């Protein structure tokens, strides 16, 4: 297996899918001549030309809707948001049109579209540019929501997303773009709805996704030094959720901590905790704990922002709590 960066993996996924299917095209702000605000689409204009790699004006609602309309008649757009924070301007299109179209039309239309882009607390970007909107989108029936944590999953999940006949919200983490990792050679597809057990353990289940996987794996190593054997699960797919893998793990460890960068109240972890509790309440030896961001807007100051993150000390504290240590 060769090693690539997260952004190279995304680029490969889009390039390969555009090579195999003329219906696939990329549209968004600065994706073409600027080579991508985060260089994810580097070289794609040169390779595919302006028919298929399309710069848009700063009109998120407009170009999201244009993508949906094109998808309704059979094209397969990839719509890039420079960051998912800006998808708030387009949320009517994503929720009312992309997610509802098939249902409202009694199954007459499909909307095979991918909305993708960066997100998260990426370093002093302030409250408007640091949103984590996974729980907002994951609540909507009709959308699929995926969040890769590794270059291999970035490629495999994005290829699956582009081939999906349904709308996909594909949320990247801005801080991960430089990360490098092994990516399987040849055709590499990762199915939706399948979590990845990153570390086997028997004492506690740590459930996480996206950038927080790094914090969680680091915390698991520290815990191991203290003799606590944590199982770490990377969700990869937020909706549909691989509830079976979570339940299986909790039935083994009897304890769970959910690690997320989302806000705590009504956050993704709240929904996951509810589903685990419904399925295996009797298996739990302690209430499920959540390590989320703090319930405040995201601050500019580095120290304040760092305090919002689900870092290893906060994770370890939660683990010790569920283990009554």
Partner 1 sequence: MAPVQTEAKPIVNKSQALVWLRQMMQIRRFEDRAEMLYQMGDKIGGFFHSYSGQEPVAVGSIGVLREDDYVITAYRDHGHSLALGMSPNAGMAELLGKVTGCAKGKGGSMHFFDVEKGMMGGHAIVGSHIPLAAGMAFASKYRGEDRVTICYMGDGAINQGGVHEALNMAAMWKLPVIYVVENNLYAMGTSLARSSATTDLKLRCAVPYGIPGVTINGNDIELMAKTTREAVNRARAGEGPSFIEAQTYRYKGHSISDPGKYRGRDELEKHIQKDPIVIYQNVLKERGWIDDETIEKMWEEVKAEIEASIEFAEKSENPPLEAVYEDITVAPFIPQE
The catalytic residue positions are: 60, 129
Helix, coil or strand: residue 76 = strand
Measured distance CA(239)–CA(254) in Å, rounded: 24
Choose which of 15, 39, 75, 222 interacts with partner 1 (CB under 8 A): 75
Choose which of 2, 33, 57, 325 interacts with partner 1 (CB under 8 A): 57
Residue number with CB closer to partner 1 (62 or 126): 62
Among residues 286, 296, 256, 294, the alpha carbon closest in space to that of 272 is found at 256
In angstroms, give the least distance from the CB of 49 to partner 1.
12
**According to CB under 8 A, which residues from 147 to 176 bind partner 1?**
164-166
Binding of residue 218 to partner 1 (CB under 8 A): no
Choose which of 2, 141, 227, 281 interacts with partner 1 (CB under 8 A): 141
Residue number with CB closer to partner 1 (14 or 71): 71
Residue number with CB closer to partner 1 (88 or 286): 88
Choose which of 124, 125, 142, 320 interacts with partner 1 (CB under 8 A): 142
Binding of residue 92 to partner 1 (CB under 8 A): yes
Measured distance CA(43)–CA(321) in Å, rounded: 49
Binding of residue 67 to partner 1 (CB under 8 A): yes
Q: Which residues contact 51 (CB under 8 A, 6 or more apart)?
A: 25
Q: Which residues contact 115 (CB under 8 A, 6 or more apart)?
A: 64, 67, 79, 81, 87, 94, 98, 167, 168, 169, 170
* Cβ–Cβ < 8 Å for 136, 191: no
In angstroms, give the least distance from the CB of 70 to partner 1.
4
User: What's the Cα-to-Cα distance from 179 to each of 7, 161, 213, rounded to whole Å?
Assistant: 8, 21, 13
* Cβ–Cβ < 8 Å for 115, 137: no
Among 139-147, 172-180, 207-215, 310-318, the segment contacting partner 1 (CB under 8 A): 139-147
Choose which of 275, 297, 300, 306 interacts with partner 1 (CB under 8 A): 275
Interface pattern 222-251 for partner 1 (x via CB under 8 A): -----------------xxx----------
Interface pattern 103-132 for partner 1 (x via CB under 8 A): xxxxxxxx-x--------------------
| Cβ count within 10 A of residue 301 | 10
Among residues 140, 145, 149, the alpha carbon closest in space to that of 160 is found at 145
What is the β-pairing status of strands 144-146 and 237-239?
Answer: antiparallel
Measured distance CA(323)–CA(276) in Å, rounded: 18
In angstroms, give the least distance from the CB of 299 to partner 1.
30
| Interaction site with partner 1 (CB under 8 A) | 25, 51, 56-57, 59, 61-75, 92-93, 96-97, 101-110, 112, 138, 141-142, 144, 164-166, 193, 239-241, 271, 275
């Amino acid at each position: 297996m060769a090693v690539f960066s997260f952004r190279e993996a995304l680029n490969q996924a889009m390039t390969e899918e555009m090579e195999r299917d003329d219906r696939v095209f990329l549209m968004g702000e600065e994706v073409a001549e600027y080579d991508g605000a985060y260089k994810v689409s580097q070289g794609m204009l040169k390779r595919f030309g302006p028919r298929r790699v399309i710069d848009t004006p700063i009109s998120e609602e407009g170009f999201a809707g244009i993508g949906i309309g094109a998808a309704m008649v059979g094209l397969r757009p990839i719509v890039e948001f420079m960051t998912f924070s800006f998808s708030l301007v387009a949320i009517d299109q994503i929720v009312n049109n992309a997610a509802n179209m098939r249902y409202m039309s009694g199954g007459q239309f499909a909307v095979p579209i991918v909305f993708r882009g960066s997100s998260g607390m990426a370093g002093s970007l302030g409250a408007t540019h640091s949103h984590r909107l996974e729980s907002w989108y994951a609540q909507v029936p009709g959308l699929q929501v995926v969040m890769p944590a590794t270059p291999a999953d970035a490629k495999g999940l994005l290829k699956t997303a582009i081939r999906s006949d349904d709308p996909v919200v594909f949320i990247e983490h801005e801080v991960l773009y430089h990360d490098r990792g092994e990516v399987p050679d040849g055709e590499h597809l990762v199915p939706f709805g399948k979590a990845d057990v990153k570390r086997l353990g028997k004492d506690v289940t740590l459930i996480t996704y996206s950038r927080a996987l790094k914090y969680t794996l680091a915390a698991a190593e520290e815990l191991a030094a203290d003799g606590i054997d944590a199982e770490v699960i990377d969700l990869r797919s937020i909706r549909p959720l691989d509830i079976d893998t979570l339940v299986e793990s909790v039935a083994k460890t009897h304890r769970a901590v959910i690690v997320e960068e989302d806000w705590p109240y009504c956050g993704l972890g709240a929904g996951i905790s509810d589903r685990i509790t419904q399925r295996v309440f009797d298996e739990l030896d302690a209430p499920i704990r959540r390590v989320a961001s703090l319930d405040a807007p995201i601050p500019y100051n580095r120290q304040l922002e760092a305090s919002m993150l689900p870092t290893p000390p906060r994770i370890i504290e939660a683990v010790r709590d569920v283990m009554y240590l």
